[in-house]
A = this chain, B = another copy of it.
Amino acid sequence: MPTLDPGIGEKFSRRTQRAINHDGTFNVRRRGGPHQHDPYQWLITMPWWPFIGIVVVFFTVLNVGFALAYIALGLDDLPGVAAPHGWWQDFLSALFFSIQTFTSVGYGHVYPGSNGSGFLSSVEALVGVLTFALATGLLYGRFSRPTARILFSRTALISRRADGTPCLQFRIANLRNSILIDLQARVILKTVDEATLDQRYDLLPLERSAISFFPLTWTLVHDITPESPLYELQAEDYARLGIEVIVQLKGYDDTFAQDVHARNSYTHDEIEWHRRFIRAYEVGDDGIAVVNLDQVHDTEALR
Tell me if A8 is interfacial: C-beta within 8 Å of chain B.
Answer: yes
Q: A106 vs B108: C-alpha distance in the bound complex, in angstroms? A: 7
**Are the C-beta atoms of B182 and A2 separated by less than 8 Å?**
yes
**Are the C-beta atoms of B175 and A36 separated by less than 8 Å?**
yes
The digit string for A214-256, where 1 denotes a CB below 8 A from any CB of B, is 1111110100000000000000000000000000101010111
Q: A71 vs B19: C-alpha distance in the bound complex, in angstroms? A: 58
A284: which B residues are within 8 A, CB to CB? 29
- Whether A211 touches B111, Cβ cut-off 8 Å, given contacts A30-B291, A132-B133, is no
CB under 8 Å from chain B, chain A span 13-39: 13-17, 19, 24-34, 36, 38
Tell me the smallest distance from the CB of A165 to a CB of chain B, in Å. 12
The digit string for A107-124, where 1 denotes a CB below 8 A from any CB of B, is 111011111001101100
A140: which B residues are within 8 A, CB to CB? 136-137, 140-141
On chain A, the number of residues with a Cβ less than 8 Å from chain B's Cβ atoms is: 134
Instruction: Give which listed residue, B17, B24, B143, contacts A40 with CB less than 8 A.
Output: B143
**Are the C-beta atoms of B143 and A31 separated by less than 8 Å?**
no
A287: which B residues are within 8 A, CB to CB? 14-17, 27
A93: which B residues are within 8 A, CB to CB? 118
Tell me the smallest distance from the CB of A18 to a CB of chain B, in Å. 9
Tell me the smallest distance from the CB of A89 to a CB of chain B, in Å. 8
Q: A290 vs B178: C-alpha distance in the bound complex, in angstroms? A: 37
Tell me if A208 is interfacial: C-beta within 8 Å of chain B.
Answer: yes
A15: which B residues are within 8 A, CB to CB? 283, 287
Closest residue of B by beta carbon distance from A276: B8
Tell me if A164 is interfacial: C-beta within 8 Å of chain B.
Answer: no
**Are the C-beta atoms of A252 and B256 separated by less than 8 Å?**
no
Interface CB pairs A-B, < 8 A, 13:
A1-B208, A3-B208, A6-B213, A6-B218, A30-B291, A31-B290, A33-B173, A82-B113, A109-B111, A133-B135, A136-B136, A137-B143, A141-B143
Closest CB pairs A-B (n = 8): A33-B293, A137-B140, A108-B108, A32-B294, A105-B106, A107-B108, A17-B287, A103-B125
